[in-house]
Chain A
């Protein structure tokens, strides 16, 4: 069967061996080595209390405003923003509306406290100790979010006031003993232990699967051209749809096997540290498969189409950018709030089932979306392949001495 032959070609390729090695190594060093014994219980939790969010956000904004030094992470990179007079004025207006203070009152608060200097390289910034600011009685949470959105826009995005991140940035409160007991009982009762570890597992392996498959897929697809076998394959009877889908399924299957092996060893690992009767072992297979398989599929599909249209090098660059953006953008959130189009979904904790469930619907949408997108992209790849086969399309060269359109012999 052709499928078996394609699997064999993948199995004997160097990139696949490297893939297995990296996935295995990352799994062992992050998951196995870091999870020996009792799980680490976090000190804080998200409260989602609007008053708490407004209180801490406004204090943070006032501090940054008075120092005129805002820490931002556009696209995941640290950036310190200093505003010009009129932009600073706009931020102040927002601040005054939220606190209900006048300009003079704010300045009084500023001048009544201590101030100190912080060096940033050659620059010095003056910070004020202002304590907690009041919050206006008339401000609603919706209006507050609106104002925060404006501030974020003025700062050019990626600031601490990004509306989607307000809950995660400002509503952490210390955990009480009851909170601790509650999340532990959630872990045992609702997640049957394995569920919690399955999310952590998916979090780690998902990082690999956001980038590693591109190497294997791009190498397989570009092999025909590199080894000058294209014409030989092009003249065979097989339909482009069948050929591309066979290769695609072979890639996805082969690359998912190491992931399944990791799932099995994760279960074995848990059996060593927990009472067997507390564990629902199947949960290590169900959630991670739903979480990781669509991701593997979309990365493989993207790698194939970019390699067919451009080249394997571009496919790797593209995937690297996408992966990097996905894990670094928006201040690199480690857990909570999975959004509709995240490639890599993060949830770096054994606990936090409730937090995870908050974005459950977006998460489900996300994975189904990528699953379908992967299949659609592969169908388009087959169409492009058919065009290349008949000499109607020659691929697009972005680099090299030839012009954009390359005429292949």
Chain B
């Protein structure tokens, strides 16, 4: 059986509001990044893949299993919700043990996995702390551990790095890459750096549609010739921000070096064409699809 998720023509409505429009996507083994602004529909798509939502029309198969077979889908899917929370009075290891039991893992096996996962996410010293006593970042790490407890084939993590410190973020990326060796891992984020470091394949979503899909290199290649740097006087900055898409700024004395995403070369002093980076490429992609991204400095 081939390890891939095939999404064909999938739509989703919240009441009358349509949140997904005819999504077509194939996700293979390894890390897959889902990028998009707030409200783009990332969470909605991920919940649909985790069989939490009922889709409208289209079909989804996960490793050959149609999404309607909820029980099989649940058995092979690990899910980390965007707003992960757990019973606050449970201890960290108890929480994992409880969720492991719900996943049908026998007791002896569970014990081993709880310890090894707590070690992996660097929570082993905090295992006797109650969930309410964990810091925000520790809680997310617990969330990652619970998604892996039943050794799922598909791992769906919704903004897993939000709230992690840089050290933990790197640790976490490495963990995901390790995990992704024999699994499908879908990760959503608006932090471009996470994707850059881990994912090969990505999709960019906006307003419930897939704007772009492909590899990271293709996205960067796409933006070649559209990313510039200029060196301008500081006092012009407000105006430049209004007119152009600025992805980076560096101030020195009275001058500022700005990175600009633009269809054609901007009419500014000291402008040179530069090698595209992922962040700029992402902005260019949004821009070229007609999204208004000016004034953004994400």
Contacts and interface: CB of A to CB of B under 8 A. Distances in A.
Contacts of B99: 232-233, 236
Interface in A315-353: none
A130 interface: no
Interface in A359-409: 386, 389-392, 405, 407, 409
B83 interface: yes
A231 B81 contact: yes
B293 interface: no
Contacts of A389: 52, 70
A235 B77 contact: yes
A228 interface: yes
A15 B70 CA distance: 34
Given A235-B79, A237-B71, A392-B54, A227 B101 contact: no
Nearest to A238: B102
B87 A223 contact: yes
Given A237-B71, A237-B104, A391-B52, A5 B98 contact: yes
B14 interface: yes
B146 interface: yes
A237 B146 contact: no
Contact of A231 (B75, B78, B79): B79
B212 interface: no
A227 B51 contact: no
B102 A227 contact: no
Contacts, number: 73
Interface string A214-245: 00000000010001110111111111000100
Given A2-B102, A236-B102, A407-B14, A9 B87 contact: yes
B87 A2 contact: no
A198 B98 CA distance: 40
A355 B168 CA distance: 74
Contacts of B107: 1
Contacts of B51: 235, 390
Interface in B66-107: 70-71, 74-75, 77-79, 81, 83-89, 97-99, 101-104, 107
In which size bucket is the chain B interface? 20 to 34
A12 interface: yes
B150 A228 contact: no
In which size bucket is the chain A interface? 20 to 34
B98 A12 contact: no
A140 B84 CA distance: 74
Contacts of A237: 71, 74-75, 102-104, 150
A238 B101 CA distance: 9
B53 interface: yes
A232 B81 contact: yes
Contacts of A239: 71
Nearest to B70: A390
B238 interface: no
Contact of B86 (A229, A235, A236, A390): A229
B52 A238 contact: no
Contacts of A227: 85-88
Nearest to A387: B54
A220 B20 CA distance: 34
A235 B101 contact: no
Given A232-B86, A409-B43, 9 more contacts: A1-B107, A227-B85, A229-B86, A232-B146, A233-B99, A237-B71, A386-B70, A391-B54, A407-B14
The 6 closest A-B pairs by CB, nearest first: A236-B102, A391-B53, A237-B75, A235-B79, A391-B54, A228-B85
17 contacts: A227-B88, A228-B83, A229-B85, A231-B52, A231-B79, A235-B50, A235-B78, A236-B99, A236-B102, A237-B103, A238-B103, A239-B71, A243-B102, A389-B70, A391-B53, A391-B54, A409-B43
